[in-house]
Every structure is written in structure tokens, then in C-alpha cells.
Amino acid sequence: MKRARIIGTGSYLPEKILTNADLETMVDTSDEWITARTGIQQRRIAAENEMTSDLAVFAAEKALQMAGISADQLDLIIVGTITGDFPWPSTACLVQDRLKATRAAAWDVSAACSGFVYALASASKFIESGSARYALVIGAEVLSRVIDWQDRNTCILFGDGAGAVVLEVQDGDFGILSTHLHADGGDWQLLYQPGFGSRHPASVAGIEQRLPFLKMAGNEVFKTAVRSLYDVAIEALETNGLTAADVHLLFPHQANRRILEAVRKRLELREEQMYVNVDFCGNTSGASIPLALDEANRKGLLRQGDILVFDAFGGGFTWGAALVRW
């Protein structure tokens, strides 16, 4: 059976670090309050001249180098992002041009924090069908551009970054074993960016109402996220005849420590079975899972045959999981 196997990983974090102490000078908050509620100690912020496509390219170049292939061998590029350089063209097209991936089709996936898993699922189906041999999947966000820095409940959570994987078609039992995607648009208003789309076009009044910035109902999102992350992880495991005991590492969307711990305990995983980097990266939305994966890979934490679970939840609502045999 043809499967998509990850043969290269890469990531990029901007140089600028924004600590909790820095935030204390910006809004009415404290390091103690932020750490207790989120586990986040710092996050990265893109420089003024850094765009989402820049972060994506830096991560992609590292993944391609590890994979040992050139960009002109790629058949497709999919970028999971909600903070693209432009509403259109897609950030993936900008990445395709920068990399000189002349053979690759390119498009973006807008699924918020589930963007990478949605993009990975799409790419894996192209590979399994024989329509592609090599694919580049990226999660990249510059959330600092859509954060309301006057809202202490949201500005403490988010950071910028990018992660990427290169997929190759292979025969056998290694690679992406299954993907599982879900959505429920009924609660879209609990986590969204009001402006500026066709519903609220660009206007001075919209800026004064702070419509370009992310809005979130934290308590409601928390409960739904925990339930959805648990349910889809179980779905992925049961589909493949596995249990939580078989998992080497769970890579959940790095939302905040409280959500991650709640999911881990419900799955009955040991602490060492879940990879966490939210403390130093913050919530990077669609970039969080590939960022964490690349960190773990470059630390030598992944061995051939390990069972990995990618587990994501985001605005929409969207949620999904991918089960991988490394």
C-alpha cells in the first residue's frame, strides 16, 4: 500500500522574544497570572519586515535539506495559515515562487489551529492516490498582526512561527496511517477574526471597533477543545487497533498548558508521552504541531517505528488528528 511518509522536518522562530515580564508593561497582567492559567512564559514575535511567507520559507528550506531533495522535485505545496501575507494570492504560491518549486501546485488551507493537520491530510491523499511523489506541508502564522494588544485575555497567548514537513510516497507500514478531520460551524463566533472580509469590509469605523483583531470566548473554547482533542485522538487510535499505551509521543496543538494537561489525563498518557513546547513558543496556531515535531526530531526523540499522534483543534470549529508510524 502506498503511504505518505515524513522524510524531513523544519521549523523557524523569529528572533524577538516577548516575555511575560514584557507584557506586564503593556497590559494589566502579571507573570504569575499568565503562567498559572496558560503555562506560557514567552513567545516569539516576527520582525516588522518578516511576513508569514518568510517564516514558511525558512522552515521549508530546513525540511527540504533534511529530506535531501530539491524544491523543483516537489509536486505540491500546502500551507496551513490564517495570517497569510495577503487575502489572495495564497501564501503557498509565494512560497512556491521563493523556493523555485516550478513543478508544484500550491494552495492554502484555512482551518485555524487545525490548519497543519488539515493540510497534511490533503497532501497524504494526493500521495496515496499516486497523484504526487513529494509534497511540502507547512504551518505558518504571524498572529502578532491580528492580536489585540489591549486585550489581556488573548494577547498573552499567541506567538509567531512556522513548521514544515516533506512527504514522500513509500510502500509499507511506515508513514501516515490515517487522518481524521471534523468541523462544526455552529460555534464560529466563539473564536474568530471579525474583519476585514465580505461581512465587515475595511472601514475606519471597523478599525475603531477593533474588528481586525482576534476574538475569543475562552471558557467555552476550553471545554470544547478538550473534548474534541480527546475524541479525535481516540478515533485515530481505535481506527488502527491501537491504545494510548502504544503512543510514543502525542503532539497536540500547543494551545495552553491547562488544555494539554486535561487532554493528557483523559487519554491516560504519562507526561513523557506528550510533547510540550507552549511554555516558550506560545500558541502559534497552525504552526504549533510541525514546530513541536521538528524540535523533537532534531533532539533525537523519534525512532523508526514510533507511533505518533498529531492532535489539533481550532476556530471554525475544526479539529482533527493524524496517526503516524515514524
d(CA 225, CA 263): 9
Q: Are 236 and 321 within 8 A, CB to CB?
A: yes
CA angle 270, 274, 277 (to 5 degrees): 135
d(CA 306, CA 309): 10
Determine which one of 248, 253, 277, 281 is catalytic: 253
Burial of 198 (0-12, 13-18, 19+ CB in 10 A): exposed
Nearest Cα to 81, choosing from 148, 163, 195? 163
253 is catalytic: yes
Sequence-ordered list of residues with C-beta below 8 angstroms from that of 223, at least 6 positions apart, any chain: none
Determine which one of 20, 256, 277, 283 is catalytic: 283
Cα dihedral angle (232, 59, 126, 98), rounded to 10 degrees? 150
Nearest Cα to 291, choosing from 95, 7, 33, 59? 59
CA angle 165, 139, 292 (to 5 degrees): 70
d(CA 126, CA 271): 35
Q: 274 has which bridge partners? A: 250
Determine which one of 20, 93, 113, 155 is catalytic: 113
155 is catalytic: no
CA distances from 184 to 80, 187, 259, 313, 314 (A): 18, 7, 19, 11, 11
Cell for 326? Answer: 515514524
**Active centre residues (catalytic):** 113, 253, 283
